[in-house]
Structure 1
Amino acid sequence: MQLPENIAGLIQAQNEADSTAFANYFTEHATVFDEGASYTGRGEIKQWIEEATEKYNMQAKALDFMQTGAKGILTVEARGTFPGSPGVMHYHLDFENALISSLKITG
């Protein structure tokens, strides 16, 4: 599957535990919604992904990606140290140019 460069880079940064690179795929004031909490801005997003990586040691494999205009849905197979692993997760994305302005993760 051919992914846009920003989506492929996001997955690579997550899998390589590169929180700085991961956060740089987001706008300066982006928001992430995950596990009932929200994180706003690159600093909070960087901290969130660092903590999630340490807690769950998650690796993601893209299964599908669809984008219509400024909205997209990335479906991933997630493996890690969380209940139900491996599992399928959906990343609901809003874009501002090529950067992510909003990410909501559902399972």
Structure 2
Amino acid sequence: MNLPNVISELVKTQNNFDSAAYAQCFAETAVVFDEGKTHTGKKEIEQWIDKSNKDYKATMEPVDYDEKENILSAKISGTFPGSPIILKFHFEIADGKIQHLKVTE
């Protein structure tokens, strides 16, 4: 599977539970939508993923990538009910950084 560099880096930092490095994959004004909530800017994104890492200890295993639509399907395993689950990560990428991420089932 041929992932853009920034998505490969995002997966690596998630699996290392490195919230600061994870946030560096995003543009300064990036927006993340997950679990009905919107997180705007690197600082909020880092706080969101840090809390998620502590609460769920979730790891990502890419299973498919739609290059045309920039959608990564990944098996997410962690300490949450229903684990593992396949989630879709809808990316907008510009200048090597994630501008927008929406997580769906």
User: Smaller-chain TM-score range?
Assistant: over 0.9
**1:95, distance to aligned residue in structure 2 (A):** 1.1
**1:20, distance to aligned residue in structure 2 (A):** 1.0
Runs (4+) off by over 6 Å: none
Equivalent in the alignment of 2:95: 97
**1:97, distance to aligned residue in structure 2 (A):** 2.0
| Percent of paired sites with the same residue | 40
1:39 partner amino acid? H
Cα distance between partner residues in 2 of 1:81 and 1:36: 20
1:27 partner amino acid? A
**1:64, distance to aligned residue in structure 2 (A):** 1.0
Q: What do you get for the CA RMSD once the two structures are aligned?
A: 1.0
Superposed counterparts of 1:60-99, under 5 Å: 60-68=60-68, 71-99=69-97
Cα distance between partner residues in 2 of 1:63 and 1:51: 25
Cα distance between partner residues in 1 of 2:44 and 2:75: 24
